[in-house]
Amino acid sequence: MKLWGGRFQKETDSLVNDFNSSIQFDGRMYKEDIMGSLAHAAMLGHRGIISPEDAAAIDKGLREVLADIESGRAELTSDNEDIHMNVETLLTAKIGDAGKRLHTARSRNDQVAVDLRLYLRHEIAAIKGEILDLQGAILEQARQHQNTVMPGYTHLQRAQPISFAQHLLAYGAMLCRDVGRLEDCGRRMNECPLGSGALAGTTYPIDRWETARALGFDRPMGNSLDGVSDRDYAIELLSALSTLMMHLSRFSEEIILWCSWEFKFIELDDGYSTGSSIMPQKKNPDVAELVRGKTGRVYGDLMSLLTAMKGLPLAYNKDMQEDKEPVFDAVDTVKMCLPVFAGMLRTMKVLPENMRAAAGRGFINATDCADYLTKKGMPFRDAYTVTGRLVAQCAAQGRTLEELTLVELREVSPLFGEDVYEALKLENCMALRSSYGGPAVEETSRQIRELEEFIKEHQA
């Protein structure tokens, strides 16, 4: 017989039972559900809504149920629809009538809302920890490659010289914002819906501040309808995770390019590559490809939740049970991607000679050539045109700017002197880009220091 048996003359059809049930996926919130119930029961006892004896029996019983679930002694079944009813049923089987008093002044609507917030709170902390570790992996590589010159790209065309450290540290900076978004979302999430009841609060003299505090929330949510209807926190989280995955996906795309024979800037460790079942020579960047692929899946999770919510009248609607699978899927996916990505970065071999060779072709010192003339007094726009002419000449002859003789250079401008060759050296082009945020070693050192501090500050 169902909990709502009083009102019904017939058993739920077995098809409906399966359709309605969420225990297969909300079972993972058993601990949070029990934490919420422990706080609720304690408060009911303190406020005299249930007797101290019942409160004590519920407390003891819930702790036993927790141990039973964790040890596998208790089974969660779809006969009990969801985690809330499973726990209540297990509790009542253990302690009898006192168990039936637990749900006084509460609804599954505020219960599920509190469970999910509690669950996501520790998932946010875990994901944050993994991002910080990935930033650690970035730092390990960046420290070693502050002087490794590589071509920086725009439009995937060689543009200006940078260091590999500078490139990696760009991802370090993106990940700082991802951490910030998660923390921000976690802060906003940290209000307690418990005590909102089904939607309209309750006539019992509950103390919502007590339960909020006991569960580590900053305060109770201020409106009971909002308390049970709000899923913004899950949407915000999925949106933050989507942005994080977008960053990892861009990084993956670059890793995939870099380890191709066309670039060969890096080589992935054997432990982080896979072979082909037919082509003996293959070494594939599957990890990076999967991270890129799984990004779409996290976006999909965000879209399904946004879409599930968009037409719902206040307050609770069963549609909202559809929130959990996308949220869990996104969280699980991100938690899988981050450590494997960090491992891939830590173990990859960087090939500085190949980066340097690529930097040597493609005229990435052309801006420096124009800047050289500008510093000698030519207006930048003219210097740009003169350099453009030199580039066209070199391209036609298969030469580089620094291979032109001084005589040839002086043919286009008398401002060229012997010192132009120093100005065109890629190492110098990079080293002189010491403007704030630039690739010069003093600036990548600053970025490294700041990232180290960020990691320290944000570690729990």
Contact stretch for ligand ARG (CB under 6 A) within 94-102, 138-146, 249-257, 314-322: 314-322
Contact stretch for ligand ARG (CB under 6 A) within 57-65, 172-180, 317-325, 328-336: 317-325
CB 286, min distance to ligand ARG, A: 35
Amino acid of residue 288:
A
Residue closer to ligand ARG by CB (options 317, 428) is 317
Q: What tokens appear for 132 in the block?
A: 């910080």
Near ligand ARG by CB under 6 A: residue from 37, 80, 89, 109: 109
Instruction: Using alpha carbons, select from 37, 66, 33, 34 the residue that is nearest to residue 211.
Output: 37
Near ligand ARG by CB under 6 A: residue from 299, 316, 372, 454: 316
* Total residues belonging to the chain: 460
Sign of CA dihedral 235, 134, 172, 189: positive
318 binds ligand ARG (CB under 6 A): yes
- DSSP E strands, 327-447: 349-350
Query: With 0-12 CB in 10 A as exposed, 13-18 as middle and 19+ as buried, what is 456?
Result: exposed
Instruction: Using alpha carbons, select from 92, 75, 82, 108 the residue that is nearest to residue 21.
Output: 82
CB 333, min distance to ligand ARG, A: 21
Asked if 148 and 350 touch (Cβ cutoff 8 Å), the reply is yes
Instruction: Using alpha carbons, select from 254, 250, 245 the residue that is nearest to residue 299.
Output: 245
22 binds ligand ARG (CB under 6 A): yes
Residue closer to ligand ARG by CB (options 162, 320) is 320
Query: With 0-12 CB in 10 A as exposed, 13-18 as middle and 19+ as buried, what is 270?
Result: exposed
CB 21, min distance to ligand ARG, A: 8
Catalytic residue among 155, 224, 277, 435: 155
112 binds ligand ARG (CB under 6 A): yes
Is 40 known to be catalytic? Answer: no
CB 196, min distance to ligand ARG, A: 12
- Among positions 75-104, residues that touch ligand ARG (CB under 6 A) are 82
At residue 99, φ and ψ (nearest 5 deg) are -60, -35
Contact stretch for ligand ARG (CB under 6 A) within 131-139, 180-188, 318-326, 397-405: 318-326
CA dist 451 → 176, 211, 247 (Å): 8, 38, 17
Catalytic residue among 51, 122, 260, 276: 276
Amino acid of residue 99:
G
Contact stretch for ligand ARG (CB under 6 A) within 131-139, 169-177, 315-323, 397-405: 315-323
Q: How many helices and strands, by DSSP H and E, does the chain display?
A: 20, 6
- Among positions 420-459, residues that touch ligand ARG (CB under 6 A) are none
Is 247 known to be catalytic? Answer: no
CA dist 48 → 52, 206, 355 (Å): 8, 9, 73
Query: 157-163 and 149-154: which strand pairing?
Result: antiparallel
CB 98, min distance to ligand ARG, A: 23
Near ligand ARG by CB under 6 A: residue from 103, 106, 108, 294: 108
CB 289, min distance to ligand ARG, A: 34
Cis status, amide bond into 357, omega within 30 of 0: no
Site pattern 273..312 for ligand ARG (x: CB under 6 A): ----------------------------------------
228 binds ligand ARG (CB under 6 A): no
**Secondary structure element (H or E) that encloses residue 355, with its range:** helix 352-360
Asked if 43 and 207 touch (Cβ cutoff 8 Å), the reply is yes
- Among positions 396-415, residues that touch ligand ARG (CB under 6 A) are none
CB 310, min distance to ligand ARG, A: 17
Q: What DSSP string describes 299-329? A: HHHHHHHHHHHTTPPSS--GGGGGGHHHHHH
320 binds ligand ARG (CB under 6 A): yes
Number of residues that bind ligand ARG (CB under 6 A): 10
Residue closer to ligand ARG by CB (options 112, 248) is 112
26 binds ligand ARG (CB under 6 A): yes
Site pattern 38..77 for ligand ARG (x: CB under 6 A): ----------------------------------------
The set of catalytic residues is 155, 276
Interface residues toward ligand ARG, by CB under 6 A: 22, 26, 82, 108-109, 112, 316, 318, 320-321
